[in-house]
Amino acid sequence: MSRESPPDPQECARLAVGVRAGDRRTLAKAITLAESTRDDHQALARAVMADLLPATGHALRMGITGAPGVGKSTLIEALGLHLVAAGHRVAVLAVDPSSAVSGGSVLGDKTRMEQLARHPQAFIRPSPASGALGGVAAHTREAILFVEAAGFDIVIVETVGVGQSETDVANLTDVFVLMQLPNAGDDLQAIKRGIVELADVFVYNKRDLDPAAADRAMAQMAGALYLLRPAAATWKPPVLGVSALTGEGVPEFWRDVLRCRDTLAASSELAAKRRRQALAWTWHLIDHGLRERFHADRAVRDALPLVLEQVGAGTLTPTAAAARLLEQTRGR
Ligand code: GDP
């Protein structure tokens, strides 16, 4: 573990003041520091965040997931433009799990949300899935807090429906939206992967293409939901049909998101959810830190190849192997 000198208080104060004032460049810089793998950057980001923490927590945090092409960016653009016109400040954080897996990007390879991106009351930022702190949404949590401190009152976290990212985003947000197309295969996939149980609002998009198919899919999903345990005790997830392209159903969709947030807040489920999320994140970081320390340990690194070989050959049990390796880090 390298010991860094403490962050420069003046630099820290300058960044905190800039973020609080809503200065976009300072905001972007603060998020970049939090995403950095350098210890000194991380320390500075933590110090700035400590200063800003009282200014966080007031925004509505909405998560949205769905397969590529389902219409997420079209919906977010339509909704975002409507919200900024109504005087809101909207931040969109895009979590892209594909960038960690392939080095490419599903979310970043095309121009998305062009009009919203240019709007002075909007802030759009992809969150790289670096995995530096573990999990695809590793830095999105910090980014949410920074944009809140900068005065954005609506935060939309978007992710492609791949692997762990949906669970991560559901664990960062107040209201989680699952967006699908009227296609039974999609529904089954979502049910199988347990995503349906995370969702607070279900949206079937592109209703304009085939309204009858959309209505059928909605009825099926509503039926399936009957059998599942709801995510919240006081909230029954609605199933909506929209067309992000024409705007049909978008105001109703937003009304349901607000209704969900307000219902959870009124029953104190929202406060409990945020508390649970913060504690889960703390444990996640501790687990990740311990794992990193384990792998960085010299004695472990020396012993590891032989121990793993013995487990593979069947001459050492996994229990004995784990005990032997963990023993190496004892007392350090
Ligand atoms: P994303 O990958 O989930 O962000 O999907 P996009 O928002 O990029 O949409 C993928 C394609 O579907 C684009 O060509 C959109 O214009 C189109 N699309 C999005 N929403 C609708 C809709 O409601 N109706 C129709 N007909 N097309 C849509």
Sorted by where each starts, the structural domains of the chain and their CATH numbers stand as 1-55 (1.20.5.170), 56-267 (3.40.50.300), 281-327 (1.10.287.130)
- Residue 184 CA to its chain's centroid (Å): 26
Report the nearest atom of ligand 1 relative to the CA of 160: 3
DSSP run (H or E) holding 7: none
Q: Which residue out of 64, 70, 72, 74 has the highest number of ligand 1 atoms within 8 Å of its CB and is therefore the one to mutate?
A: 74
DSSP 87-133: T--EEEEEEETHHHHTSS-TTTSS--SHHHHH-TTEEEEEEE---TT
| b/e map 86-96, b = 16+ CB within 10 Å | eebbbbbbbbb
Quick: pLDDT tens for 37-93: 888 998 999 999 999 999 999 999 999 998 888 999 999 999 999 999 999 999 999
Does residue 180's CB lie within 6 angstroms of at least one atom of ligand 1? no
- Which single residue is written with the structure tokens 């944009």? 147
Cα–ligand 1 centroid distance for 151 (angstroms): 30
Determine the Cα–Cα distance for residues 17 and 60; give it in Å rounded to an integer.
Answer: 23
pTM of the complete model: 0.88
Cα–ligand 1 centroid distance for 69 (angstroms): 6
Please tell me the residue having the least CA distance from ligand 1 atom 14. 69
Question: Tens place of pLDDT for every residue, the chain, 332 residues?
Answer: 445 678 888 999 999 999 999 999 999 999 999 988 888 998 999 999 999 999 999 999 999 998 888 999 999 999 999 999 999 999 999 887 665 544 445 555 446 799 999 999 999 998 765 554 556 677 888 999 999 999 999 999 998 866 677 888 888 999 999 999 997 566 666 666 678 888 999 999 999 999 999 999 999 888 888 877 777 788 999 999 999 999 999 999 999 999 999 999 999 999 999 999 999 888 888 888 899 899 999 999 999 999 999 999 999 999 999 999 999 887 65
Does residue 72's CB lie within 6 angstroms of at least one atom of ligand 1? yes
